[in-house]
Amino acid sequence: EADIGIGPISISSERRRSVDMTLPCYDFVGLQLAGWRRPIRVPTLALRPELWACLGAALLTTALLVTLFDRFSPCSFRNRPPPPSNEVSESGGKVFSIGESLWYSLGALTQAGDSFDPRAPSARLIVAGFWLLCCIMHALYTANLAALLTASQLTASSVTTLRRLAAQTDIKYTVQRNTIGHDFFERMADIESKFFNIWRSSIEDNGNGAPLTHGAAVWEYPIEERFTRMLGRMKEWGLANSTQEAVSLARTGSWAVFMDTPLARYYASRDCRLRTVGEALSSRPYGIVLQKGSLLTKKFDMAILQMQQDRTLETLKMQWWNSVGEVNCPADARSIGLKLSSISGIFVLPILGVCLGFLALLAELTMRRIQRCQQTAAEVARLQP
Secondary structure (H, E, C), 3-65: CEECCCCECCHHHHCCCEECCCCCCCEEEEEEEECCCCCECCCCECHHHHHHHHHHHHHHHHH
Taking 50 as the threshold, does the pLDDT of residue 157 lie above it?
A: no
Ordered structural domains, the chain, with CATH: 4-37+170-201+221-323 (3.40.190.10), 49-81+94-156 (1.10.287.70)
- Classify burial at 315, counting beta carbons within 10 Å of its beta carbon; exposed 0-12, middle 13-18, buried 19 or more: exposed
Nearest Cα neighbor of 119 from 370, 361, 362 is: 361
**Residue 156 confidence (pLDDT):** 42
Question: For residue 303, what pLDDT is reported?
Answer: 92
**Mean pLDDT of the region 155-169:** 69
Q: Quick one: pLDDT at residue 289?
A: 92
The pLDDT of 20-38, averaged and rounded, is: 80
pLDDT, average across residues 122-149: 82
Q: Is the pLDDT of residue 336 over 80?
A: no
Is residue 335 exposed (0-12), middle (13-18) or buried (19+ Cβ within 10 Å)?
A: middle
Handedness of CA 162, 164, 166, 172 (dihedral sign): negative
Give percent of the chain with pLDDT exceeding 70. Answer: 78
Q: Answer for the pair 160, 278: CB distance below 8 angstroms, yes or no.
A: yes
Alpha helix (H) ranges present in the chain? 13-16, 49-72, 98-109, 121-156, 162-167, 180-203, 226-237, 243-251, 261-270, 296-309, 312-322, 340-343, 348-383
Tell me the pLDDT band of 43, cut-offs 50, 70 and 90. Answer: low
Average pLDDT of the chain is 79
Predicted confidence band at 300 (pLDDT cuts at 50, 70, 90)?
Answer: very high
For the chain, the distance separating the N- and C-terminal CA atoms, rounded to the nearest angstrom, is 139
Nearest Cα neighbor of 255 from 229, 273, 228 is 273
Residue scoring higher pLDDT (237 or 371): 237
Q: Which residues pair with 20 in a beta bridge?
A: 290
Of residues 384 and 189, which shows the higher confidence score? 189
pLDDT digits (tens, 9 = 90+) for 219-265: 566 677 888 999 999 999 999 998 889 888 888 878 888 988 888 88
Instruction: State the Rg of the chain over Cα.
Output: 40
Q: What is the arithmetic mean of pLDDT over 112-133? A: 81
- pLDDT band with cut points at 50, 70 and 90 for residue 327: low
Residue 81 CA to residue 89 CA, distance in Å, equals 10
Q: With bands split at pLDDT 50, 70 and 90, how would you rate the model's confidence at 78? A: confident
Taking 90 as the threshold, does the pLDDT of residue 267 lie above it?
no
CA dihedral 275, 279, 284, 286 (to 10 degrees): 20
**What share of the chain in percent tops pLDDT 90?**
7
pLDDT greater than 90 at residue 302: yes
- Report the SS3 class of residue 251: helix
